[in-house]
Amino acid sequence: MVTKLLGPQALQRSRGIRADELERFYMSLLDKAMKKESVEIGMETMKLINNSICKMIMGRSCSEENGEAERIRGLVTESTALTKKIFMANMFHRPLKKLGISLFKKEIMGVSNRFNEVLERILEEHEEKLEEDQDMDMMGVLLAAYGDKNAECKITRNHIKSLFVDLVVAGTDTSRHATQWTMAEIINKPTILDRLREEIDYVVGRTRLVQETDLPSLPYLQAIVKEGLRLHPPGPLFARTAREGCRVGGFYVRENTPLVVNAYAMMRDPDSWEEPNEFKPERFLGSGKEDEREHGLKYIPFGCGRRGCPGVNLAYILVGTAIGVMVQCFDWKNKGDKVNMEEAHGAMVLTMAHPLKWIPVARTPNLQCRSELK
């Protein structure tokens, strides 16, 4: 089911949804630019990403008016914070189990119940629409399968809700922090910003908004996104359990041992990367050594293997287009300071200690939006 939503064909079908949301993102930044208001880049990006994913799954964004969108974004943030605690608890699973402590049950149930409340309402609304609307989104397809008594594979209401939560939680915070970190790197390095802008101006111009279909023609933008993910992987650690005894790097690992993969350290390892702490997008251009590394197990912002991220293609689109729009359409002003790149302590998703808050200045006065051309 996840592949169905996130595979290349499905992504092609849902392109229009993301184009609309990208335009909304641009309009919101433009509004702030006109009012000379500062923008919390992570927050704006979160709205873009959250709305895009919600709309892809259930055919509509969560409504801003009745606070539904805000509630979902809050629940995503709470879930991410809980992931850290659950991760730690899993690491010390046995002692905790022995003591009979279920440390986070109350918190987990709290978030789960509130998600359930919002999602149940959305499902009911969908069921009402299902009778009149034949043009089905993913939730519609799942609801039809849920109602089909002869279906080969029985789907429950909880399955549908869990899938929604899984995708929204896994996709939102990761993509928004990746975008924020990468924008911070670009703002700090004017030569990189200028080169990227030149590429976008040359390929896309200044009269239409950059689109995801432009990404294959924007190799420098792609390299920047990859380099941002190398230096600031939103998921710096991930866990595995050895199903059977095995040897790793000369150490014997016993069956059922919990293992933590430190992707952050691996992608800054000086044995694998030249000047590992420098932001150098060029390393991902062309067919050099760094490109080969990408195919090896040294570049792993999306994990790898069977448990690797199924949203990788969507993530490159969401992060690439968000950065594309912010660079194509705006200059970014602050009181002359450089961006502080300090990392927040103890966050499960790699987070900036000082969220990026800058004032956009519009630079594409003749830009026409899709909605105006229709």
Which residues contact ligand HEM (rule: CB under 6 A)? 2, 6, 53, 166-167, 170-171, 174-175, 178, 229, 234-235, 238, 301-304, 307-311, 314-315, 319
Residues 6+ positions from 2 with CB-CB distance below 8 Å: 163, 166, 167, 310
Q: Which is nearer to ligand HEM, 2 or 101 (CB)?
A: 2
277 torsion bin: left (phi>0), alpha (psi -120 to 50), beta (else): alpha
Least gap, CB of 128 to ligand HEM (angstroms): 26
Least gap, CB of 82 to ligand HEM (angstroms): 16
HSE (CB half, 13 Å, CA atoms) of 69? Answer: 18
Least gap, CB of 24 to ligand HEM (angstroms): 18
Q: Which is nearer to ligand HEM, 281 or 310 (CB)?
A: 310
The helix (H) or strand (E) run that includes residue 333 is strand 330-333
Query: Distances in Å between the alpha carbon of 356 and those of 71, 124, 177, 353?
Result: 22, 38, 10, 9
- SS3 state of residue 239: strand
Q: Which is nearer to ligand HEM, 48 or 143 (CB)?
A: 48
Q: Which is nearer to ligand HEM, 32 or 55 (CB)?
A: 55
Q: Which is nearer to ligand HEM, 235 or 281 (CB)?
A: 235
Least gap, CB of 314 to ligand HEM (angstroms): 4
Least gap, CB of 271 to ligand HEM (angstroms): 22
Taking the C-alpha atoms of residue 311 and residue 81, their distance in angstroms, rounded to an integer, is 21
Taking the C-alpha atoms of residue 262 and residue 100, their distance in angstroms, rounded to an integer, is 29
Q: What angle do CA 42, 47, 48 make, to 5 degrees?
A: 95
Least gap, CB of 321 to ligand HEM (angstroms): 12
- Indicate the angle between helix axes 15-34 and 312-329, nearest 10 degrees: 30
Phi and psi at residue 137, in whole multiples of 5°? Answer: -90, -175
Q: Which is nearer to ligand HEM, 174 or 211 (CB)?
A: 174
Q: Which is nearer to ligand HEM, 109 or 259 (CB)?
A: 259
For the CA atoms of 155, 156, 157, 162, the dihedral, rounded to the nearest 10 degrees, stands at -80
Least gap, CB of 302 to ligand HEM (angstroms): 5
Q: Which is nearer to ligand HEM, 229 or 356 (CB)?
A: 229
The helix (H) or strand (E) run that includes residue 371 is helix 370-373
Taking the C-alpha atoms of residue 127 and residue 106, their distance in angstroms, rounded to an integer, is 31
Taking the C-alpha atoms of residue 50 and residue 56, their distance in angstroms, rounded to an integer, is 10
Least gap, CB of 77 to ligand HEM (angstroms): 16
